[in-house]
Each structure stands twice: as C-alpha cells, then as structure tokens.
Amino acid sequence: MSTVDTTRLTVTFSRETDLAMRAYLGAQGMRKGDLSKFIEDAVRWRMFDSTVQAVKARHADIPAEDLQAAIDEACGRVRAEMGPLSPEGR
C-alpha cells in the first residue's frame, strides 16, 4: 500500500476495544504500523459480509435447487468463454 493510494482518517472507539485490538495484534506478532492494514481488512470484510447477507435476503424465497441451477449455468457460460485452464491456472 503506497502513500499515494491511502487516505488518512480519524477513528474513534471505546478504550476496551482499543486494548482488546492491541492485545490481539500483539499476539499475532503485528506491530503498531500494522493497525491500518488490520482496520482496512476489517472494513473490507464487513462490506463483503453485508453484501453477502443482502444477496441471501434478496434470494431467500428462491428454492436452493433453482439457485444452484442458475449458478451452474452462469459458471458454464463463463468457462465456455474462457476456454480450458492450463494445469498452472488451477
């Protein structure tokens, strides 16, 4: 992550969370400078999880077999467009 691609933010959270987070980072062998990476990963994971939950809710009324058939069809189309993968691409 270069400084050109970063944004500086001020983040506020409870002292309890701060201590727990720093203890966790320390136990993982991370240093103070790794805090930004940890927060960025957490934000990305939260956005991904929210998207997954929204998609699940939107499709909750569709039978699992129908969803799987649609997924299989879409994957088949993509594979046909891409062609066979080389052994190194697997």
The pLDDT score that the predictor gives to residue 9 is 87
The pLDDT score that the predictor gives to residue 31 is 81
3-state helix, strand, coil in the chain (%, to 5): 70, 0, 30
At 34, is the secondary structure helix, strand, or coil?
helix
Helix ranges restricted to H, the chain: 15-27, 35-58, 64-82
Distance from C-alpha of 62 to C-alpha of 71, rounded to nearest angstrom = 13
Per-residue pLDDT of the chain (90 residues; tens, 9 = 90+): 555 688 888 989 999 999 999 899 999 998 877 888 899 999 999 999 999 999 999 999 999 999 999 999 999 999 999 987 766 655
DSSP letter, residue 11: -
Within the chain, strands assigned E span none
